[in-house]
Structure 1
Amino acid sequence: MTAISRSGAGRGVAALVCGALAAGGLAAAGVAALGPGEAAASSHREAPLISGTPQYDTTDLYAFVSPDRPDTTTIVADWIPFEEPAGGPNFFLFAEDAQYDLRVDNDGDAREDLVFRYTFRTHVKDGNTFLYNTGPVESLDDPDLNVTQRYDLELIRLENLHAVSRTKIATGVPVAPSNVGKASMPDYGKLRRQAVHRLAGGAQTFAGQADDPFFLDLRVFDLLYGGNLTEVGNDTLKGYNVNSIALQVPTHMITESAHQPVVGIWTTTQRRTAKGGFTQVSRLGNPLVNEVVNPQKDKDVFNASTPRDDARFLKNVTGPELPKLIEAIYKIKAPAEPRSDLVDVFLKGVPDLNQPPHVTPAEQLRLNTSVKPAKHPERLGVLDGDTAGFPNGRRLTDDVIDIALQVVEGELVGAENDLGDAVDANDRAFEKAFPYVALPTEGSRGPLAKGTSGDADVRSGLADALSPAGSAGDDDTPLIAASAGAGAVGVLLIGAGLAWWRRGRGRAY
């Protein structure tokens, strides 16, 4: 295999210069070729329609040879961007009227040969409570877990886009719930482990909440930081969760043959229509495509198209807007056009690495499954000689922002640079075994109230809050607290009296 060479070990902070560009660069590189079709993008609110329906919004896709099981391939796909951990009482569920698909093209013709389809259903034990859980949850079948989800997994094999077989490979698998907090879920790791389901033939599947594994400074959208680079280096996604689907399968199950080990992978979300059919509303392969490259008028259409149509939009890759914008703001000269280097890397695959024979240019995340996992992964992947990393698939630790930015700015055509966003790793450590994603941030992670300690009773804080401003002692606290309590009782009595009076007059309360 011939790796993309990178001379010079230095990764200067000069690169901070364009964290902003990082996001854009990635997009331009990965998506430039896709025009108004269905985008394979890191879609954190990347298009007008999908931003209003987060349950169907794919945020990121990862595909890599499993580091602890190198005879298998792992695919991780995420949905629902910016999940606020404390966002109850209605926490984060997969949609019941959606098909969540992992699509695999194993011969390079831009058409899916395999589809792994996840469909979900929700069960509420007690509809008379507002609670997601009615007590501490010790297991996925705990009666105190009030809102639960299960899913079915179907494998569809296709020839020339026509299904030739459908196999239900998992039924009724429990989903790991949202991490409400330590009082509700004292051992969330245990719940995660219970949600890993083993399939026939050595495969595994998982669905549930996880820490958002993507790391970057998203404030690029403030006009590329307005030319002021003092703000770069903050992981915008720190503390947010996503809903993840992870699938690990024996590699021979998804490749065309041992002689053709390259696969192209992307995700789609189909939503049920009023007529009972399904329509595609989201698609994702390479990261950060639809956010930055496509103009507003094309973004929604882009999310509904297919890879086999991507060649029509080649001009978006060969003449990307982003380098021109970078040149205008930061005076970094844009590489000469047409950008055939971007076509090779992001639409066809790197020659002699992850480009399949007779490839049809298309936006997919391409992975050569014959490349063994690196013992010491480099965050810049192929740019640093690590052929097991992005753009040969995408590992959770790959710094795709810096990689794509440097490539878009001409790294492969003689314009060496160290551009980046100064966010080089995720805020939470990834796990060593499937499903690899980090545990989600819990909802009760907030700081203690001012003036309290870890052992303080919240009632003491409440009593302090009832004290008059500037009070010098505690003498009046019992009196004020008693007054507040009496006031509360009075309100209840008045409410009860009003209810009785309304019922007496035959009115609905």
Structure 2
Amino acid sequence: MKKTKILIATAILGIATFVAIAADHIDAPAVSGGTSDITDFYAFQGSNSSNIAFVANVQGLLAPGSTAAASFDENVMIEFNIDTSGDNVEDLVIQAIPRDGKMYIFGPVSPTQAGLSSTIMTNSSNTAVVDITPYGQSAIVASSGGIMAFAGPRDDPFFMDFAQYGEIIAGNATSFNDPGSDTFAGTNVLSVVVEVPKTLIGGSGTINTWVETKRKQ
């Protein structure tokens, strides 16, 4: 589970884009390489300053040769959690569920319960559905009620020089090289992007936001 915090500003303020990032490409052996493995989480103001975008990447370190065969696991839900009251408990969720080549989006909506178990919020008035973009094709983006969504493979956006990081941890170096060597260059992830109007979240103030993957039981 990745957690981060993002500041929401009203559209009137027109502040510069604020970016929040959390990344974890190499998990424990029981999780690494699994279809529920989260590699990155991003939250930032959209190109339309009235919107906020949430991005979750899963199934990292996909080689180009294997990306075309990779697919979202239909037994795994990606859930963006949004805490608007500062108690570190989700007040809103955005759920992304793959089915038959499409990604179904439910929310932002108040969940029936907080915590590790979730109910699919099919009764949400905020919904969208988008065709999952095949590997190597132009991005397919769907829009519904002000919500925009994308799902599909993308080039891994995270930059990290793990070899130099290892040298620093070992005490053999004190800083990263400039330029460094991107460990993730040439690898891909499966990405879900949901952009929503800030008014669906609360409009202004500070929120906590994190992402989880939850497997169907």
Q: Describe how 1:93-112 pairs up with structure 2 within 5 A.
A: 93-112=71-90
Work out whether residues 64 and 74 of structure 1, in 8 Å CA contact, stay in contact via their aligned partners in 2: yes
1:44 offset after TM fit, Å? 0.8
Given candidates 150, 174, 179, the residue that maps to 1:206 is: 150
Which whole-Å CA distance do the structure 2 matches of 1:167 and 1:176 have between them? 24
> Equivalents in 2 of 1:116, 1:207: separation in Å?
14
Q: Which runs of 4+ in 1 moved over 6 A?
A: none
Aligned residue pair count:
189
Give 1 or 2: higher strand fraction. 2
Partners of 2:23 and 2:57 lie apart in 1 by: 9
Q: Secondary structure at the match of 2:70?
A: coil
Answer yes or no: is the 8 Å Cα contact 1:111–1:160 preserved in 2: no
Q: 1:262 aligns with which of 195, 203, 206?
A: 206
Shift of the 254–224 alpha-carbon distance from structure 1 to 2, 3 Å rule, reads same
Does residue 170 of the first structure (1) align with residue 170 of the second (2)? no
Match of 1:85 among 56, 64, 71: 64
Structure-2 residue corresponding to 1:247: 194
- Partners of 1:225 and 1:231 within 8 A in 2: no
Matches within 5 A, 1:230-379: 232=177, 233-255=180-202, 258=204, 261-272=205-216, 277=217
The letter for the 2-side match of 1:157 is S
Is the alpha carbon distance of 1:69 and 1:230 closer, same or farther for their aligned partners in structure 2, counting shifts above 3 Å? closer
| 1:208-244 Cα deviation digits (max 9, x unpaired) | 1111111121222467255046984111111111111
Instruction: Return the letter of the residue paired with 2:24.
Output: S
Distance in 2 of aligned mates of 1:167 and 1:41: 28
- Report Cα offsets for 1:70-117 as digits up to 9, x if no partner: 0111111111111111226x6211101111111111111101111111
Higher Rg of the two aligned structures? 1
Quote the residue 1:58 is aligned against.
38
Of all paired residues, the percent bearing the same amino acid is 28
The one of 6, 25, 43 equivalent to 1:44 is 25
Query: 1:152 pairs with 89, 101, 104, which one?
Result: 104
The counterpart of 2:169, out of the listed 199, 224, 231, is 224
**What RMSD, in angstroms, separates the aligned Cα atoms of the two structures?**
2.7
Report the 3-state secondary structure (helix = DSSP H, G, I; strand = E; otherwise coil) of the residue aligned with 2:150. Answer: strand
Pairing 1:121–2:66 present: no
Structure 1: gaps of 5 or more residues: 1-29, 31-39, 123-148, 180-187, 278-509
CA distance in 2: counterparts of 1:229 and 1:91, whole angstroms: 40
The change in CA–CA distance for 1:230 and 1:61 in structure 2 (over 3 A counts) is: closer
Distance 1:241 1:74 in 2: 20
Q: Which structure shows the bigger proportion of residues in helix conformation? A: 1
The answer on whether the counterparts of 2:128 and 2:147 sit within 8 Å (CA) in structure 1 is no
In structure 2, distance between residues paired with 1:159 and 1:269: 17
Secondary structure (helix, strand or coil) at the match of 1:252 reads helix
Q: TM-score, normalised by structure 1?
A: 0.34
Deviation at 1:41, TM superposition (A): 5.4
SS in 2 for 1:87: helix
Are 1:99 and 1:117, in contact at CA under 8 Å, matched by a contact in 2? Answer: yes
Matched to 1:270, the amino acid is: K
Measured against aligned partners, the alpha-carbon deviations of 1:186-227 in whole angstroms (never above 9, x if no partner) come to xx3xx31xx100111x22111111111111212224672550
C-alpha displacement of 1:45: 1.9
Aligned equivalents of 2:186, 2:170: Cα separation in 1:
22
Change (3 A) 1:71 1:52: closer
Post-superposition Cα deviations, 1:24-77, rounded to whole Å, max 9, x if no partner, equal xxxxxx8xxxxxxxxx95221222211141x111111111111x2101111111
Structure 2 counterparts to residues 328-477 of structure 1, below 5 A: none
1:237 partner SS: coil
Counterpart contact for 1:63–1:76, Cα < 8 Å: yes
Local SS of the residue matching 1:269: strand
Q: Please tell me whether the aligned partners of residues 254 and 263 of structure 1 are also in contact (alpha carbons under 8 angstroms).
A: no
Distance in 1 separating the partners of 2:43 and 2:176: 31
Where 1:244 maps in the other structure, the secondary structure is: strand
Distance change in 2, residues 1:96/1:81 (3 Å): same
Contact 2:51/2:195 (<8 A) preserved: yes
CA 1:271 to 1:119, structure 2 compared with 1: closer, same or farther past 3 Å? Answer: same
Conserved? CA contact 1:73–1:251, under 8 Å: yes
Match of 1:215 in 2: 159
Say if 1:252 and 1:231 are closer, same or farther in 2 by CA, change over 3 A.
Answer: closer
Q: 1:223 to 1:204 in 2, by over 3 A?
A: same
Q: What secondary structure, in the 3-state scheme, does the structure 1 residue paired with 2:124 have?
A: strand
- Counterpart code for 1:120: P
